[in-house]
Amino acid sequence: MDINFEYYKFFYFVAKYGNITKAATALGSNQPNVTRIMKLLESQLNCRLFIREARGITLTQQGELLYSHVEIAYRHLLDAQEEICRLSAQDSGTVEIGATETALHLFLLNALHDFKLSHPAIKIKIHNHTTLETLKHLISGKLDFAVVTTPFEVPKAFSLVKILDFEEILVGGSQYADLCQISLELKDAKKYPWIGLGRESTTYHFYKNFFIQQGVDLDLDMEVATSDLMLPMIENNLGIGFVAKELALPLLKEKKLVQIHLNCDTPKRAIQIVSDKGRGKSLAADTFYRFLKSTSRHVTTDSSGIP
């Protein structure tokens, strides 16, 4: 039996409302057309589906049976439509995130590559700033979330998820090769020119506190605005400084840099995802956020930002 499935849609609304006029309004049609289609459906099914009365329409036994199946089928179709719309929304849209350079190079670039393979239609806008600037933009609501390096502080309403720990090492250019043969005290390393991020950065204060704990005062000879400038300046023998070990390894292997060993342990740092628990994310932002979380070790910290 080849019945137009559109007829069942008309039948569903007539049975649901018990009124031809209301069904026509819901369908965006008119009363004569709905009546015509119901007669065609009854004719093709060879049974009576409705009893037409002055107060409206009631279903016959056959009509009740048909409606019990059509209602389920119609709901399934609506659920499928909603699910497809949700999936489409997840795979489109724009995500605005903030990231520090270290977080970008140690984690985010690789993660972005993998994410775009499975979600090519989602646009990612990365705002590259210092940790402090990034968190200011996040708190003001300009970003969906941020991927930054510790240490930092945020309000208690923010959620923190650790992505990875990383180690920073003291390195110098090739002219400091003699220093890699010995273990220096921090006060002796202070005799050489130092390069580091500027005083407005959290990294500066991080190492300032580390130096104070070792009884030494941090006094930079050259301050740079971004961590990307650290390696080329150190490689060109302008001074020594702390950089992420993973970023320094290629230059260490090429002997363009040397590692300078200290007789004290340097403190660990981490990369964390920061988001505002009180502010909802778009489906695209939530999809990317969950993807990044899935690559982490799911270590959640308190709002001090220090694991």
Q: Which residue has the higher pLDDT, 1 or 266?
A: 266
pLDDT at position 87, please? 62
Same domain, 278 and 157: yes
Among the candidates 67, 89, 111, a domain finishes at: 89
φ, ψ for residue 201, nearest 5 deg: -90, 155
Give the mean pLDDT of 237-261: 94
35-43 average pLDDT score: 93
Domain of residue 284 covers 93-164+272-300
In a domain, 189, yes or no: yes
Q: Is the pLDDT confidence value at 150 over 70?
A: yes
Indicate the DSSP class of residue 146: E
My answer on whether 145 and 293 are in the same domain is: yes
pLDDT bracket for residue 304 (50, 70, 90)? very low
Lowest-pLDDT choice from 91-95, 104-108, 199-203: 91-95
User: Residue 226 corresponds to which amino acid?
Assistant: T
Per-residue pLDDT band for 255 (boundaries 50, 70, 90) equals: very high
Shared domain for 181 and 256, answered yes or no, is yes
CATH of the domain at 156: 3.40.190.10
164 has a pLDDT exceeding 60: yes
Phi/psi at 249 (nearest 5 deg)?
A: -55, -45
In a domain, 256, yes or no: yes
Does 180 reside within a domain? yes
Residue 200 within a domain: yes
Structural tokens at position 153: 């502080």
User: Does residue 178 sit in the same domain as residue 258?
Assistant: yes
Q: How many domains does the chain have?
A: 3
**What pLDDT, on a 0 to 100 scale, did the predictor assign at position 86?**
64
Same domain, 186 and 63: no
Residue 61 lies in a domain: yes
Same domain, yes or no: 12 and 84: yes
Among candidate residues 61, 15, 7, 66, the one with its CA nearest the CA of residue 38: 7
pLDDT at 283: 84
Whether residues 156 and 100 share a domain: the answer is: yes
Q: What is the pLDDT of residues 185-241, one digit of tens each?
A: 988 988 899 999 988 888 999 999 999 998 988 889 999 988 888 999 999 999 999
If asked whether residues 235 and 285 sit together in one domain, one would say no
Average pLDDT, rounded, for the chain: 88
Is the pTM above the cut of 0.85?
no
Closest CA to 114 of 292, 257, 280: 292
Determine, yes or no, domain membership for 60: yes
Residues 276 and 159 in one domain: yes
* 183 beta partners: 261
